[in-house]
Structure 1
């Protein structure tokens, strides 16, 4: 198993708890939700988290361009820090993470209107979006981080990564999705997707797509080592590994 694949699985162990996923995209895992350590096995991935107005959220490390009309000296290109904040002239720190572009525009405008400008007009442009990227790892020809849109699907993302390597298990592709402080995992048969027998699931920013090796016994052994006693035979079998 590739080192990055090992790191991905280890990263899933950093969260705790459980929640209920909404009916979203069906996967090969069709039983009730199971928990392996702190990873939730599900047949239906939860819908991605959005801002209060239903638009994509700004997240830490996004790079934003902020323009204040009529006050060019206040224009800035800033990166959202680890605390989810940006620093702007005069008004200082503004919380950005979790807001949509429009929500952040309103927040900044209110901050400047409070003490400095009359009816300010503010625009926010997401120059670089970490939240609109997906990680593809495992047995693909070009593992890496790729941009996605609201219409991206699993087949499209795999194509971006150069398609499967000769060692790939294309019937057991794992998709990890963070939601509510948890990480959910669903398993998809890409052969069935390509043949039109199953719907091609949407992939969203923040997802991780992992293509295991066709040497399933090796992958299963390493998963069991990483997940310890929580990795029951039944739970691992639910992943098809």
Structure 2
């Protein structure tokens, strides 16, 4: 009777051990959940997440284009600059249009261009080796009125720009901040932004800046 009892206990322990092993294996094989950042418009383009593959290419960026197992071709593509027209020139395929394209999308476009007439199933990678300098001007009632640089790979909000310019002074009228922006057609747009309301919302819906924007923080009328 005792032997039968021990055999039952051993069988239960063995079964539990197997179930635990299966559970751990399933947990280990489960892919981690990846969360991304919200898309925001800045610098003439939009930025999706912090990944370099999702950076939207800008004029004057310098790229390195690499095609697997094509060393002679790669030597000609170690420093490819994006033109003011958002294009690049590559050997064999000539001009490639990249306006509004991410690094990841550029890889696919270049791959298709080479694959069309010259290479068989090319494996292409694109790396930004030098980011174009992008800046805005922050003037008026801020601690250090000056030019503020965009961080590489990232956008810049109006709240961040004011902070980088030393923050606002006690006399600042944050309800009537002026944002001046030059459009692609040459026209100038002036917007009045209630920065005070943005701050009260914790920065949500903060206005994203573009290259060469001018922010003016006026003095409060007492």
Taking structure 2 as the reference length, the TM-score comes to: 0.57
**Partner deviation per Cα, 1:130-165 (whole Å, 9 max, x = no partner):** 4x9451331241521422566753222211222236
Q: SS where residue 157 of structure 1 aligns?
A: helix
Following superposition, the deviation at residue 184 of structure 1 comes to 4.2
Following superposition, the deviation at residue 96 of structure 1 comes to 2.2
Single out whichever of 75-84 and 189-198 deviates more from structure 2. Answer: 189-198
Residues 96, 153 of structure 1: alpha-carbon distance in 2 compared, 3 angstrom cutoff: closer
Task: Provide the rounded CA distance (Å) in 1 between the counterparts of 2:203 and 2:112.
Answer: 48
Pairing partner for 2:195 from 176, 190, 196: 190
**1:133-172 aligned within 5 A:** 133-139=134-140, 140=142, 141-147=144-150, 152-164=156-168, 168-172=172-176
- Aligned partner of 1:175 in structure 2 is 179
Q: SS where residue 112 of structure 1 aligns?
A: helix
- Aligned partner of 1:99 in structure 2 is 101
- Aligned partner of 1:67 in structure 2 is 66
Task: Provide the rounded CA distance (Å) in 2 between the counterparts of 1:160 and 1:211.
Answer: 14
Q: SS where residue 174 of structure 2 aligns?
A: coil
Task: Provide the rounded CA distance (Å) in 1 between the counterparts of 2:102 and 2:113.
Answer: 17
Larger Rg: 2
Following superposition, the deviation at residue 201 of structure 1 comes to 1.2
**Partner deviation per Cα, 1:85-132 (whole Å, 9 max, x = no partner):** 2122232222222333233212211222233321111112234444x9
Give the total of aligned pairs.
169
Residues 174, 202 of structure 1: alpha-carbon distance in 2 compared, 3 angstrom cutoff: same
Q: SS where residue 81 of structure 1 aligns?
A: coil
Single out whichever of 108-117 and 175-184 deviates more from structure 2. Answer: 175-184
**Considering only aligned residues, what root-mean-square deviation do their CA atoms show, in Å?**
3.9
Name the structure, 1 or 2, with higher relative contact order (CA <8 Å, separation 6+): 1
Where structure 2 has 5 or more consecutive residues not aligned to the other structure, the ranges are: 1-39, 49-53
Residues 95, 151 of structure 1: alpha-carbon distance in 2 compared, 3 angstrom cutoff: closer
Q: SS where residue 128 of structure 2 aligns?
A: strand
Q: Say whether the 8 Å CA contact 1:170–1:211 is kept in structure 2.
A: no
**Partner deviation per Cα, 1:201-222 (whole Å, 9 max, x = no partner):** 1414437241244288xxxxxx
